[in-house]
Amino acid sequence: MSELLSTDTLSIAFTLNGEAIETTAPAEISLTRILRDVLFRTETKIGCEIGRCGACMVLMNGQAINSCLVMAWQVDGAEIITGAGLEKLPITGIVRQALAEESSFQCGYCAPGFVISLVALLSEEPDATNDDLMTALEGNICRCTGYHSILRGAKLAAARVRDFGARTSAAQKTYAPETKAPETAVSEQA
């Protein structure tokens, strides 16, 4: 559990992509900054840093959240999954493959956030409708594509998850390092 070291610095412990992390961080910085600047896990991107663009999305205790809005003191004890840990969730391969087949992204900077949102939705709701997709992605901004290609990829992913059926049950939201994910093809490097 966390220990207040001073008025400015916290000791925090959490799980990152299945790995136990213990570190210290300034109390006023965000989870995005902890990941990138303290732990050097740069797969989580930075955009607006005010909760508007979705570039910084991660899974926190299974929920898609903007990590720029989570402060250091809120991270203690949490399970965090970034884009680098998503492949351990079987549904991720379906989502990434569908997005790749529809050439959903151009520069790819927004891709980790979109993938996080889609994995969170389709893990929770394998029968997601187009309206569900639109709602889930409304917090993700793309500066390149105009969204049509992303939505085509999202709809293809949703259709395949529906076909995936019982194997995409809620049980698969659990982080399962031993589970082999399908091949992935979407670049999330930027």
In the complex, the residues that contact ligand FES under the rule CB under 6 A are 46-49, 51-56, 66, 68, 105-110, 142-145
Q: What is the CA radius of gyration of the chain?
A: 16
Shortest Cβ 149–ligand FES spacing (Å): 9
Beta bridge pairs of residue 178: none
Of 96, 36, 86, nearest in space to 58 by CA: 86
| Crossing angle between the packed helical segments 130-137 and 148-164, to the nearest 10 degrees | 120
Residue pair 30/71 in contact by the 8 Å Cβ criterion: yes
Shortest Cβ 171–ligand FES spacing (Å): 30
Shortest Cβ 150–ligand FES spacing (Å): 8
Residue pair 145/106 in contact by the 8 Å Cβ criterion: yes
Of the pair 107, 170, the CB lying nearest ligand FES is at: 107
Shortest Cβ 153–ligand FES spacing (Å): 11
Q: Which residue has the tokens 């400015």?
A: 8
Of the pair 17, 188, the CB lying nearest ligand FES is at: 188
Residue pair 68/31 in contact by the 8 Å Cβ criterion: yes
Of the pair 14, 114, the CB lying nearest ligand FES is at: 114
Of the pair 99, 161, the CB lying nearest ligand FES is at: 99
